[in-house]
Structure 1
């Protein structure tokens, strides 16, 4: 539900703009507000679950997400919608780290791998199927109600989830209350805001050079202050927002790098492919969504299998997945200029191959990244993994989209050339992730 709302809204943006009479800069914040709040809330949300009760934080997150989804659907002005999207992002940021925390605490050995496999399946399918579901809802509801259905679809899911979570999620034993590190939360949250702000703002009319990159320098200084504060807080014997000892866990650091780089390439693929099909070839949102269905099928299948095999093959499974995605994307880059007719259908085998590879990356990487992390810090560790993935997604989308639209302008509307040009960047992100995966594979082989 939280990941669907990252991609499902993109398809509905034209009808949102028309229905609410919003300009490009305002409507962009419907996307940006959610991404900012989601990314900022992940680590504090994970820490809150570690320090208090994961079950309680999860329930509050679902309630907040469901209510804000209703507010999004009922919005009468663009800024009402943007404000509701910020609250929705906060709810999503509370929910997501609790999932990895629950899995880390409740499962061991092969069972943990299978649980993360189902989690990875959900991530892959949700991200890939978003454009299809969004296109279907816009088609069913039309310009007036289609975009509202995109948000209202969360209501029955959220209500059912509250009932099921209240019944089935275990109550954690209440121990001594831990510090929530409010100063650390403010410093880290502000730094993430400043990193994400120049990445998520601006659309097709905003080039990379026009964005306020100086904010990243301020964010770097804040992160230095944050580290110094965390060390001081630790010296006082208090629990910190982030366990700085995680940087000494090599498997975690390398897994963090793999996840960040993979999501930088993974997320942008769907956006540029949708733009190529819709704006370049005249596909409807529904047709463009169906064209990406093979990726979702492949990802769902291999993520479930990967969760069962990760204990046996370890990091080699992730390396195989990254290599497969690379081969598939290179194939798409090579064949697109030579295709005509039903291009979406002809790309299906390569998208299926990319999905099969992608499913072997997401959940096994989470399992391997957290396998040496203390379960008591699973929420914060998982939250940082998710934050890195969101930042990676924002970086990838910002760079790839800017290059895509600049290429469209410079080639007088050659969308096939723009797709190929921007695909080079997504392939580079995946290759860098592959290098980090190989480094961890070699390190583990030496230890064995």
Structure 2
């Protein structure tokens, strides 16, 4: 059996203090697994029209294929991170990877839309098991400048997976045909998962502090209340075309009650010796709770763009999956181009940099809607490229800088919980945004694809503008405090 790649802090392979060269190979295993889980966020969008045709999928199930994955992913991030710390990160990583690979096979073999939705939920659970272990393993295997390089490589993989998803999905569907090509969007994970699983057992380190974990340490009641609350919030939007009548909106006050009960329970957990899903003490830090709110709203806005854009381009304008992937790639390329720049500039400019990025995204999305009107027909996809590039350039100035500022005042001892909560907000925001934008989009289908797309974009822009308002409120509060401090001095 191979020796562990690292110890608890620096990833040493022995007691002499010399770095084990296998730590970089082990990092490669982590990065491939991370690439798979994040690729499945973007690659599936371009396959939606083919899924709709191949499985005769109703609109609500299409939304669940995307938002269900994001929701399950987000809900399992925090407890699985805690489980990995307690029972061993390699073991949880391998369980998650095996489940992800099997769920991908189930997705590809789906014979009905319900089958596919359930398999996607399992995929999301598996992604939630894998993702926290990657960050924890990087911290365990590397130290000093090497740790920064490793996290930088992980950030690059995040950007690449988003950028290549639509293109890779389009290529697979183009090669295998529109009827069955969507299945290969999922089957592509099988060889990657099998290779990663074999290498993970040999190369990834054990967790020296691993021990038994009690069920109460995972806060099952908190998980249930949060999941049930978000589900009750999503259902009336996702099922708006299937559930007729106003009774479905009664679920919204139910959602508010469940989320209020979740907040109350989480506030009392610490006094009962239970580790909460959300550490409510974090939300006493203004920069933290405001950053979490901002990113939840932003993810609700920008992730829903890909959902409605691929449907519009392929079903409305009859683009091939490959051409649709090419048309929306400028957003991902722009985001990747400015992500590193945003990370360098945020310490100098702070929250105003994020406000600039959000403004660019809002203007870019507005320009996208305008392009659909100015260049009707099949030329609209190419006219959208410029505005989407602008929106993508702005997006790169939002996500990483906001994470830096949001976590900047969080105590180091609470860093893991804070980061997990922030990621959970991103995934829940994605699920909420797809549900809300999708419901508006499908409700307007009777008036034509361009009208439906316009209305969907308006809702997406509204989420982005709400995030911008949160950023401007923070800027204004900071300036007010600085002025008061100057007067007091």
Report the TM range for the smaller structure's normalisation. 0.7 to 0.9
C-alpha displacement of 1:309 = 3.1
299-308 or 224-233: bigger deviation: 224-233
The one of 78, 83, 91 equivalent to 1:48 is 83
1:159-308 equivalent positions in 2, closer than 5 A: 159-162=194-197, 171-174=206-209, 181=216, 184-197=219-232, 199=234, 202=238, 205-206=241-242, 212-308=248-344
The one of 434, 440, 445 equivalent to 1:408 is 445
Structure 1 residue matching 2:444: 3-state secondary structure: helix
TM-score, normalising length: structure 2 = 0.78
Structure 1 residue matching 2:275: 3-state secondary structure: coil
| 1:148 maps onto 2:186 in alignment | no
| 1:37 maps onto 2:66 in alignment | no
Structure 1 residue matching 2:177: 3-state secondary structure: helix
334-343 or 288-297: bigger deviation: 334-343
Distance 1:332 1:152, change over 3 A: same
Query: Are the aligned partners of 1:114 and 1:304 in contact in 2 as well (CA < 8 Å)?
Result: no
The one of 387, 392, 405 equivalent to 1:350 is 387
Query: Are the aligned partners of 1:124 and 1:300 in contact in 2 as well (CA < 8 Å)?
Result: yes
Query: Are the aligned partners of 2:67 and 2:435 in contact in 1 as well (CA < 8 Å)?
Result: no
Structure 2 residue matching 1:282: 3-state secondary structure: coil
Residue 425 of structure 2 is matched in structure 1 by: 388
Distance 1:26 1:142, change over 3 A: same
Distance 2:145 2:410 in 1: 16
C-alpha displacement of 1:245 = 0.6
Query: Are the aligned partners of 1:104 and 1:378 in contact in 2 as well (CA < 8 Å)?
Result: no
Distance 1:364 1:349 in 2: 24
Residue 170 of structure 2 is matched in structure 1 by: 135
- Alignment: residue pair count: 445
Residue 362 of structure 1 is matched in structure 2 by: 399
> Computing the radius of gyration over CA atoms, which structure comes out larger, 1 or 2?
2
Residue 457 of structure 2 is matched in structure 1 by: 423
Structure 1 residue matching 2:44: 3-state secondary structure: helix
TM-score, normalising length: structure 1 = 0.85
C-alpha displacement of 1:255 = 0.9
Supply the RMSD in Å over aligned alpha carbons: 3.5
Structure 1 residue matching 2:248: 3-state secondary structure: coil
Structure 2 residue matching 1:283: 3-state secondary structure: coil
Q: Which has the higher contact order (CA 8 A, sep 6+)?
A: 1
Distance 1:145 1:332, change over 3 A: closer
Cα-to-partner distance string for 1:412-443 (whole Å, 9 max, x where unaligned)? 32x33333333222222111111222333445
Distance 1:218 1:49, change over 3 A: farther
C-alpha displacement of 1:120 = 5.2
Distance 1:323 1:111 in 2: 35
Residue 18 of structure 2 is matched in structure 1 by: none
Distance 1:293 1:74, change over 3 A: same
Cα-to-partner distance string for 1:2-33 (whole Å, 9 max, x where unaligned)? 23323433433444455456666666654454
C-alpha displacement of 1:282 = 1.8
